[in-house]
């Protein structure tokens, strides 16, 4: 079980700061949801958290060790990053994508592990298909399976449900929740406020590269900062099962 922390990180392109002085902690056993309007800096922040870009100031640590100090092989095994968009250099078959995911693990995996993975993500009928022939939802499931295959200690996902239908989106969020229940620290960018309310333990709201507020999911979703960040009034309805349903107020 690992803790990934961002300490006052700032990053940008040329003179524009895309992430400004953000500090967060991703803790084992929790799903941390990142909300905010388009251009708020959410994708930039998760790229920083995954170690794909280096902050211009501040630092990132995994269990107290600066992220750049970790060997690439160890970092790839311990941190799983599910990007918003992905195009492989070669037109791999699905089974090859899954095998590459399994090989990121520090422990060896058998062919049976690949078969189990394909079944778990409803990819059994697609294992021989090439990436270029897959639909957006099929690609999303294949990529999620590859990233989650080695059971990383930290999972960072950027809008993983964007190309999935409502059932698949719920299944993926449930799977991320299950990984957290087994001790993983999970951060996920979510555009659907109701998915965030259903599956996230804590939520952070971003706007213009800054983290406006973070805290327990239900508290954040009921607070005024959410309306301010999106620039509209949000209707909140308590469902019969105790969950919160959110929608723009007309």
pTM assigned to the model: 0.91
Residues contacting residue 36 through CB under 8 Å, at least 6 positions apart: 42, 205, 206, 207, 229, 230
Structural domain includes residue 104: no
Structural domain includes residue 24: yes
Structural domain includes residue 124: no
Domain with residue 58: its CATH number is 3.40.50.300
Share in percent of the chain as helix, strand, coil (round to 5): 40, 30, 35
**DSSP category for residue 153:** S
Structural domain includes residue 235: yes
Structural domain includes residue 35: yes
The per-residue pLDDT for 134 is 94
Q: Which domain holds residue 9?
A: 4-90+151-248
Distances (CA, A) of 163 to 114, 136, 140: 23, 6, 7
Mean pLDDT of successive 10-residue stretches along the chain, which has 250 residues: 93 90 97 96 96 94 94 90 88 93 73 83 93 92 92 94 88 93 96 93 97 96 96 92 87
Structural domain includes residue 220: yes
Number of domains the chain is built from: 1
Structural domain includes residue 119: no
Structural domain includes residue 200: yes
> Which strands sit side by side in the sheet containing 57-62, from one edge to the other?
16-26, 4-13, 57-62, 65-66
């Amino acid at each position: 079980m690992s803790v990934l922390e961002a300490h006052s990180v700032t990053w940008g392109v040329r003179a524009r700061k895309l992430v400004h002085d953000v500090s967060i902690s991703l803790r084992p056993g929790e799903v941390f949801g990142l909300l905010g309007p388009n251009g708020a800096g959410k994708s930039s922040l998760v790229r920083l958290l995954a170690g794909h870009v280096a902050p211009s100031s501040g630092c990132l640590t995994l269990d107290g060790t600066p992220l750049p100090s970790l060997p690439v092989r160890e970092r790839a095994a311990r941190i799983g990053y599910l990007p918003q968009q992905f195009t492989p250099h070669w037109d791999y078959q699905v089974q090859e994508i899954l095998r590459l995911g399994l090989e990121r693990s520090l422990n060896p995996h058998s062919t049976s592990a690949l078969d189990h993975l394909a079944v778990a993500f409803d990819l059994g009928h697609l294992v021989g298909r090439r990436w270029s022939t897959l639909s957006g939802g099929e690609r999303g499931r294949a990529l999620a399976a590859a990233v989650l295959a080695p059971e990383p200690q930290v999972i960072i996902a950027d809008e993983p449900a964007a190309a999935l239908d409502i059932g698949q989106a719920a299944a993926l969020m449930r799977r991320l929740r299950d990984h957290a229940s087994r001790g993983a620290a999970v951060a996920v960018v979510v555009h659907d406020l109701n998915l965030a309310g259903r599956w996230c333990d804590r939520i952070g709201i971003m706007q213009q590269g800054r983290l406006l507020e973070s805290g327990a999911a239900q508290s954040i979703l009921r607070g005024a900062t959410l309306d301010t960040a999106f620039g509209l009034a949000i209707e909140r309805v308590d469902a019969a099962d105790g969950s919160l349903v959110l929608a723009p107020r007309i």
